[in-house]
Amino acid sequence: MSVRWLIWAVCLAAGLAPMASGDILQITPFYGYRFSGGFEDSDTGAHLKLRDSPCWGGVFDVRLTQETQLEFYFSRQETELRQDEGPFASTALFDLDVDYYHLGGTYALTYGPWQPFVVGTLGATHLAPEPPGLDSLTRFSLGLGGGLRFFPTKHLGLYLAGRGLFTALEGDLAYRSESGDATLKINSDGFWQVELQAGLVFAF
């Protein structure tokens, strides 16, 4: 999935990006921390939540104008789905990888060594449970955020950003065991996560 998104983004940018002076491509590997994300078990009414944990990924930007960029964004969180048992206690149900594959754009509020920006993206969230026999799930998602790029040199910069990410679930979902029995039923229209990121920008 990620390769197809990347090829599509590069091909689109090649037709749109102006051949202006300055950097055209920016690659930004980042490390961060992701918060929030919750559901409800439709059988028991128990509150289920994703454990807050680190995340990592990368941003690939292609310049369209001096202020705007086409952006491909990938981020992975290796977390757990937990059952909330009160303000200070919860039980782990199973491990879960939460991946975002998004395409969108950024707008720089100023252009120079300091570049505050806003970003909006659309794409897919992939939920992959770790235990064998539990099916993975892919759903539509969107992201909004902003941050700052600082370039002490022409081709190397620092990156700080934050994003809010919403995934649409469209009602009841069931995770099933290898035997086919339902192990967990989720009743939710969607969930929000917040991600804080820091990284390096390599500009070409």
Give pLDDT tens digits for 29-44.
Answer: 999 999 988 777 666 6
More confident residue, 190 or 107: 107
Say whether pLDDT at 157 is over 80: yes
User: What is the pLDDT, as a whole number, of residue 21?
Assistant: 40
Task: Give the per-residue pLDDT at 42.
Answer: 65
Label residue 111 by pLDDT band (50, 70, 90).
confident
| Phi and psi based region of residue 81 (left: phi greater than 0; alpha: psi -120 to 50; beta: remaining) | beta
Contact 102, 96 (CB under 8 A): no
Is the pLDDT reported for residue 85 higher than 90? no
DSSP 41: B
What's the distance, Cα to Cα, between the start and end of the chain in Å?
25
For the segment 148-176, the average pLDDT, to the nearest whole number, is 87
CB 172 within 8 A of CB 187: yes
Average pLDDT in the chain? 83
Share of the chain above pLDDT 90, in %: 54
Strand-pair partners of 59: 28, 73
User: What would the mean pLDDT of 64-85 be, rounded to a whole number?
Assistant: 92
What is the per-residue pLDDT for 189?
Answer: 80
pLDDT at residue 186, rounded to an integer: 72
Please, what CATH class does the domain formed by 2-13+26-103+121-203 belong to?
Answer: mainly beta
- What pLDDT does 183 receive? 61
Per-residue confidence (pLDDT) for residue 174, from 0 to 100: 62
Instruction: For tokens 């065991």, name the residue.
Output: 177
All structural domains of the chain with their residue ranges: 2-13+26-103+121-203
pLDDT at residue 8 in the model: 53
Residue 180 clears pLDDT 80, i.e. is over it: no
Residue pair 176/159 in contact (Cβ under 8 Å)? The answer is: no
> What is the pTM assigned to this prediction?
0.82
- The beta-carbon contacts of 165-168 under 8 Å, at least 24 apart in sequence, are 165/100, 165/125, 165/141, 165/192, 165/193, 165/194, 165/195, 166/141, 166/142, 166/190, 166/191, 166/192, 167/125, 167/139, 167/140, 167/141, 167/191, 167/193, 168/139, 168/140, 168/141
Please name the residue ranges forming H helices in 71-119: none
Which of 6-20, 50-64, 123-137, 183-197 tops mean pLDDT? 50-64
| DSSP 8-state assignment for residue 52 | P
pLDDT at 4: 52
Split at pLDDT 50, 70, 90, the class of 88 is low
Q: What b-and-e string marks burial along 46-69, b requiring 16 or more CB atoms within 10 Å of the CB?
A: eebbbbeeebebebbbbbbeeebb
Residue 72 three-state SS = strand
